[in-house]
Amino acid sequence: MKLRDGLYWYRERGFFDANTFVIRDERTILIDPGLDRYLRPRLLALQDDGIEPADIDLIAVTHLHPDHCGATAALREVTGAKVALHPVQVEHFEAMDAGSRDALGVGIEQRFSADLLLEERLSLGCELELDIVETPGHSPCGICFYAPARKFLICGDLLFEQGVGRTDLPFGDTVALKASIDRISRLNTELLLPGHGEVLIGYERVQRNYEFVKRMFSAFF
């Protein structure tokens, strides 16, 4: 579904899957391909929006839980796209796979590696740059993608509408989660794009959500 020019959202499907986002400029990036079992319908949804598999240049993930990264290897095979990982994701790959298997009974079924490493900023062309922000807490290798010029933030499982990412999974850290939310709440965001659930549209709505989750932290942590 097209949200804005060059920005698309594909809703989570079934149980234990994640939202997928596609950003188009001179290069096209797909963030969080979701589970392998939903790859085919997801690709069909992209084609309905005029995005062919061969159009995808880069694949990235907000973190290494299977519901976000499970289809990465299969998507790379179908599209020929390069996988872009943050160094902290490369560092934690084996531990995250093992931890997911222990806690959830599901690991990263098809292994993949980085074709290139993400730095602090990723250029998709002359019009659009993404800031890569490290946001540990739900996962030690969580990152957000922020577009300062267009004021949207892809935040993975850091927070949702009236909720935050769980920290009871392996390597979760509530203190780090709170610090990460504090950090991104300072960004000028008009469109918040979480890893599950609905997107939040409008600066005031996004700010109210930050205020809600901060009050929640004050009450329970």
What residue segments make up the domains of the chain, in order of their start? 2-220
What would the two tokens of residue 6 be?
A: 């060059």
Mean pLDDT estimate for the chain: 95
24-62 pLDDT tens trace = 999 999 999 999 999 999 999 999 999 999 999 999 999
Cα R_g (the chain), whole angstroms: 16
Q: CA-to-CA distance for 180 and 79, rounded, in angstroms?
A: 33
Q: What is the pTM for the complete model shown?
A: 0.97
The CATH number corresponding to 2-220 among 3.40.50.300, 1.10.287.1080, 3.60.15.10, 1.20.120.160 equals 3.60.15.10
Q: CA-to-CA distance for 148 and 174, rounded, in angstroms?
A: 27
102-138 pLDDT tens trace = 887 788 878 999 999 999 999 999 889 999 999 999 9
